[in-house]
Homo-oligomer: A and B are copies of this chain.
Amino acid sequence: MAEENRKLAIICSKGSLDMAYPGLVLANSALSYGIDVVMFFTFWGLDMVTKSKMNELKISPVGNTSMGMPNALAVIPGVTGMATSMMKGKIAKLDIPPVGEFLDMIVDAGGQLYGCKMSVDMMDLTKDKLYDGVIDIVSAGDFMDMSEGAQIIFI
Contacts and interface: CB of A to CB of B under 8 A. Distances in A.
Interface stretch (A88-96, A97-105, A106-114, A127-135): A88-96
Instruction: Bin chain A's interface residue count.
Output: 35 or more
A76 B71 CA distance: 7
A79 B15 CA distance: 20
A35 interface: yes
Nearest to A63: B63
A80 to B, nearest CB: 6
A153 B151 contact: no
Contacts of A57: 65
Interface of A: 2-3, 6, 11, 13-19, 21-22, 25-26, 28-30, 32-33, 35, 42-44, 47, 57-60, 62-66, 70-72, 74-77, 79-80, 90-91, 94, 96, 118, 121-122, 139-141, 143-145, 147-155
- 7 closest cross-chain pairs (CB), A and B: A63-B63, A15-B66, A44-B66, A29-B140, A58-B65, A71-B75, A62-B63
